[in-house]
Amino acid sequence: MSALETVLVELVVILLIAATVGVALARRANIPYTIALLLVGVGASAIGLSHTIGLTRDLILLVVLPALLFQGGANVDLQRLRRNLLPVVLLAGPGLVLSILLLGAIGRYAFGYPVLVSLLFATMILPTDAVSVVAVFEDLGAPKRLSTVVESESLLNDGVGVALFTTILAVVVEATRRGGSPAALTSATDLARTVGFELLIASVGGFLVGVAAGHLVYRAMVVADDAMLGVSLTVVLAYGSYLLADALGASGAIAVVVAGLFIGDRGETEALDPQTRITVATTWSAVAFLFNTLLFVLIGLETPIEAFVDSAALVAIAFVLVVLARAAVVYPLVSAANGWLDESIARPSQHLIAWSGLHASIPIALVLGLPTDLPVALREELRALVFGVAALSLLVQGLTIGPLLDRLGLVQRSPPEEVYRLLTARLRGVDAAIATASELHRSEELPQDLYVEFCETYGREKNRLETAISQLLDRYPSVRRRAELAGERRVLESEKDAVMAAIKAGVVEGRDADRLLETVDERLERVDAGESDVRRLEETAFREFWTDAIDAYDLDVDRPWRDDEDGAATGPEET
C-alpha cells in the first residue's frame, strides 16, 4: 500500500466512525457532535489504535484553520456584529492581552516557570477557539446575539493570539539559545514595545490584506457570474489571503476572517448571482464540517493520555486558572462596553460569554509548533499541559454550556410555551398515525372495522388536543404571538426553499433569481425582527417585483383568470 493509499484509508475510516457517531447522536443531541468525536478519538488512542495521520502545526494552521476561519467569517451576521462591535473588539484585543498578562504573572508562581515561559503558555492557551465555540453553539441553539459576540471574538482573537505567540516565542528561543535564564533577559518595557509593535503590524496588515483581497475576489465573482468559478475564487481568497498576509509578516488569521466577513456580507446584499451564493455557502459549510470532524477525532487521538495522567494535578490547576483569567477580563470589559451599547449585555449573558470561551484547536496548533530549539523537557511539559487543558475545556465547558444556557434562562421559553410545544408534538404524532391508517386502509392493508376504531380513538384525542391548544393560545397571547411568527417563518422558509430549488434547477437565473430571493429574504428578516409580515403586506400596497418583468407583455393580471373559482385552485401547471 502506498503512503497516499494508507492516508486515504485512514481518512475514510475516521469519517466512517465519525458519521456513525453523528447518525447515533442525530436523534438525541445531549452531547455536541464535536465533543463526541473527541471522546471517540481519546478512546481509540487509549486502546492503542495505530495511525499514520497525525496533527501537525502546518496541517492545522495552514490547511484546516484558513478554511474554518473563512467559513466562520462568511457566516457572521455582519449587521449583528456591527451592533456589538465594541465588546467583540475589546475582548479579542485588550481582553486577550490582559488575560495573558494575568495568567503569565500567576503562572510564574503556580507552575514555577520563568516569567517568559509562563507568558508563552498563557499566549498559547488563552485564544478562544472559533471552531469549537461555533460547533457547540450551533448544536445547542444559543441566543443569536451571544453567538455573534462569542463567535466573532473567537474568530478575531485567533489572529491576535498567533501574532503574540510568534513574538514571545522568538524572545524565548533567543533567550534559550544564549543559555541564560529567560527571566532577566529582556526588560519589561522592551518586551512590551516589541510585542505591541508586532501586534499592530499583524492586525492592521491582516485587516488590509483581507479587505483588499476580499474586494478583488468579490469583483471577479460578479464578473464571472458562475457558481463553480465562485467556489474556485473563494478557495483562492481563503488560502491566498492567509498565505499572503503571513508572507508579509501580518496576521493570516485576521486577513482570512476579514475576507470572509467581506464576502459573506457583500454576497448577501449585492450583485452576486444567488446560485453562486448558495453554491459557495453550501460548499464551504460542507468543507468546514469535514475539517472539523477530522480535527476533533485527531485531537482525541493525539491527546497524550499518559503524560496527561502524570500531570493531572497541574492540568487541573491550569484549567481553573485559565477560566479565572478569562472571567477576570470578561466581566469588567463587557460592563464597560455596556455604557456604549444600545442594548446592554446583562449579567447572565456575561456568565455565558466567560464560560463559553473554549480553548482547543488554536492552542494545540501552537504547542505542536514549538521549535526544537527549546529544551525537550519543557516542550513535553507544555504539550501535556496544553493538550490537557484543551481536553478539559472541551469536555467540562463544552458539556455544561447547554445546561448553563437553560439555568441562566437564556433559552427563553415560558412554561405555557413548553406545554404548547408538548401538545403540538403530540398532535403531530396523532396526525401521522391517522394519515398512515387511512393510507393503509386505502391500500386494503387495514380492515374496515379496525380502521374505524383507529379513527375514533385518535380522532377523540385529536379533538381534545386541539381544544387544549386553542384555549392555551387564547389565554397566553405571547405564546400565540410566537407561534404565529414561527408559523410565518416556516411558510416563508418553504417559499424560499422552492425558489432556491428553482434557481438550482436553472429555471430562473441572474437578476430575476436575485430579486426572487431578495423578496423572500427581506420578509424573513422582518419576521426575525418580530414583525408579522403578512399583516404588513396587507396594510401597505405591496407590488410584487415580478409584475415589472411582465410590463413589456401588456398582460392584464388583475382580470379574473377563469370564471369559476375551482379553475383557479387547480392552477395552470396542468395546462
* 493-512 binders of a second copy (CB under 8 A): 494-504, 507-508, 512
Residue selected from 269, 400, 463, 478 as contacting a second copy according to rule CB under 8 A: 463
Q: Per rule CB under 8 A, is residue 337 in the interface with a second copy?
A: no
Residue selected from 270, 373, 406, 453 as contacting a second copy according to rule CB under 8 A: 453
Cα separation, 385 vs 111, whole angstroms? 10
Q: Per rule CB under 8 A, is residue 472 in the interface with a second copy?
A: yes
Instruction: Compute the C-alpha angle 296/277/484, nearest 5°.
Output: 85
Helix (H) or strand (E) segment spanning residue 516: helix 510-528
Cα separation, 444 vs 38, whole angstroms? 50
Q: Per rule CB under 8 A, is residue 466 in the interface with a second copy?
A: yes
Residue 541: Cβ within 10 Å count? 6
Q: Per rule CB under 8 A, is residue 525 in the interface with a second copy?
A: no
Q: Per rule CB under 8 A, is residue 432 in the interface with a second copy?
A: yes
Residues 42-101 that bind a second copy (CB under 8 A): 56, 58-59, 62-63
Q: Per rule CB under 8 A, is residue 212 in the interface with a second copy?
A: no
Smallest distance from a second copy to CB 55, Å? 13
Q: Per rule CB under 8 A, is residue 232 in the interface with a second copy?
A: yes
Smallest distance from a second copy to CB 480, Å? 6
Residue selected from 178, 411, 486, 531 as contacting a second copy according to rule CB under 8 A: 486
Q: Per rule CB under 8 A, is residue 555 in the interface with a second copy?
A: yes
Q: Per rule CB under 8 A, is residue 421 in the interface with a second copy?
A: yes
Q: From 200, 211, 198, 209, select the one nearest 245 (Cα to Cα).
A: 209
Smallest distance from a second copy to CB 100, Å? 27
For residue 348, count CB atoms less than 10 angstroms from its CB and return exposed for 0-12, middle for 13-18, buried for 19 or more. Answer: middle
For residue 359, count CB atoms less than 10 angstroms from its CB and return exposed for 0-12, middle for 13-18, buried for 19 or more. Answer: buried
Cα separation, 428 vs 425, whole angstroms? 5
Nearer to a second copy, 225 or 310 (CB): 225
Give residues with Cβ within 8 angstroms of 146, minimum separation 6.
137, 349, 352, 353, 356, 410
Q: Per rule CB under 8 A, is residue 143 in the interface with a second copy?
A: no
Nearer to a second copy, 342 or 556 (CB): 556
Residue selected from 186, 457, 518, 526 as contacting a second copy according to rule CB under 8 A: 457
Smallest distance from a second copy to CB 508, Å? 5
Nearer to a second copy, 113 or 291 (CB): 291
Alpha helices in 225-271 (DSSP H): 227-247, 252-269
**Where does this chain touch a second copy (CB under 8 A) — which range of 173-181, 187-195, 302-310, 489-497?**
489-497
Cα separation, 298 vs 473, whole angstroms? 49
Amino acid at position 427, single letter: L
Residues 530-549 that bind a second copy (CB under 8 A): 532, 534-535, 537-538, 544, 546-547, 549
Cβ-contact 355, 397 below 8 angstroms: yes
Q: Per rule CB under 8 A, is residue 422 in the interface with a second copy?
A: yes
54: which 3 cell numbers? 497525525
Q: From 486, 349, 354, select the one nearest 420 (Cα to Cα).
A: 486
Residues 102-141 that bind a second copy (CB under 8 A): none
Q: Per rule CB under 8 A, is residue 239 in the interface with a second copy?
A: yes
The alpha carbons of the chain give a radius of gyration, in whole angstroms, of 28
Cα separation, 100 vs 178, whole angstroms? 25
Residue selected from 462, 521, 524, 526 as contacting a second copy according to rule CB under 8 A: 462
Residue selected from 74, 255, 258, 465 as contacting a second copy according to rule CB under 8 A: 465
> Can you say whether the dihedral through the CA atoms of 424, 428, 431, 433 is positive or negative?
negative
Residues 262-301 that bind a second copy (CB under 8 A): 274-275, 278-279, 282-283, 285-287, 289-290, 293
Size of residue set near a second copy by CB under 8 A: 143
Residue selected from 89, 236, 305, 404 as contacting a second copy according to rule CB under 8 A: 236
For residue 297, count CB atoms less than 10 angstroms from its CB and return exposed for 0-12, middle for 13-18, buried for 19 or more. Answer: buried
Residues 244-263 that bind a second copy (CB under 8 A): none
**Where does this chain touch a second copy (CB under 8 A) — which range of 13-21, 84-92, 96-104, 355-363?**
13-21
